[in-house]
Amino acid sequence: RALRDAASAAPYEFIEILVNEEQYGGGGIFNFQATAAADTGFAEYVFVHEFGHHFAGLADEYYTSDVAYETGAAYHVEPWEPNVTALHDPQRVKWGDLIDADTPLPTPWDKEAFENGSVAAQQKRRGLREDGAAESAMDRLFTEQMDRETALLGGMLHAGKIGAFQGASYEPTGLYRSEVDCIMFTRNPVGFCRVCRRAIENVIDQYTGRP
């Protein structure tokens, strides 16, 4: 209620809360609000990523982080979010109209190379946290990781193609994302994948009345 009272000072549809906080973090809830720590080196990334959750109901596409949501289930129901699929029927993927006829489904990518680098970076991150390292050290680690992963993913065979890449929404298997990289997948400066972009545009169209 206090949040709505404060927000009502101006006409609004969406709320982004910037927190005076140096420790990296943020969150976003569809149709409610998004938050981002404003004083980290990756504040802009966090703002845009969390906005994707809040504004367009986008799912996290990452699955190698330490988050505790993964179910480990062998069977996944088709997620409601527009940017993740369980790929039960490769002939009818929800973003199938964007997939080139010659792109294989599932779409191969060098998952192992990505995961090895990701796990190593997370071990370093935990070490820095345990040592009480400064946020600037964390930012440096994230920057190194970003540079390495941007090159690794961008150099893969189907980079830039739309398909179904295994590993999404906290699940290393059974759930798929539409492109090898996206701001919902990594902190890399690649923007939203085309499926995420279309989901965002659909919400904008609902507000602007474009048919």
Give yes or no for residue 86 binding Zn ion (CB under 5 A). no
Q: Which residues fall within 8 angstroms of residue 143, CB to CB, at 6 or more apart? A: 41
Integer Cα distance of 161 and 180 in angstroms: 8
- For the bound state, the minimum distance from the C-beta of residue 179 to Zn ion, rounded and expressed in Å, comes to 6
Choice from 156, 184, 190, 199 touching Zn ion (CB under 5 A): 184
Q: Which is nearer to Zn ion, 124 or 174 (CB)?
A: 174
Give yes or no for residue 182 binding Zn ion (CB under 5 A). yes
Options 26-34, 65-73, 101-109, 176-184: segment touching Zn ion (CB under 5 A): 176-184
Options 65-73, 75-83, 100-108, 151-159: segment touching Zn ion (CB under 5 A): 75-83
Give yes or no for residue 196 binding Zn ion (CB under 5 A). yes
User: 65-72: long-range contacts (C-beta < 8 A, 24 or more apart)?
Assistant: 65/122, 65/170, 66/122, 66/126, 67/170, 69/170, 70/170, 70/171, 70/172, 71/170, 71/171, 72/171
Q: Phi/psi at 127 (nearest 5 deg)? A: -60, -45
Binding string, residues 6-45; x marks residues near Zn ion by CB under 5 A: ----------------------------------------
Strand partners, 37: 19
Choice from 46, 168, 193, 199 touching Zn ion (CB under 5 A): 193
Shortest CA distance to 180 belongs to which of 195, 165, 168? 165
Interface ranges with Zn ion (CB under 5 A): 83, 182, 184, 193, 196
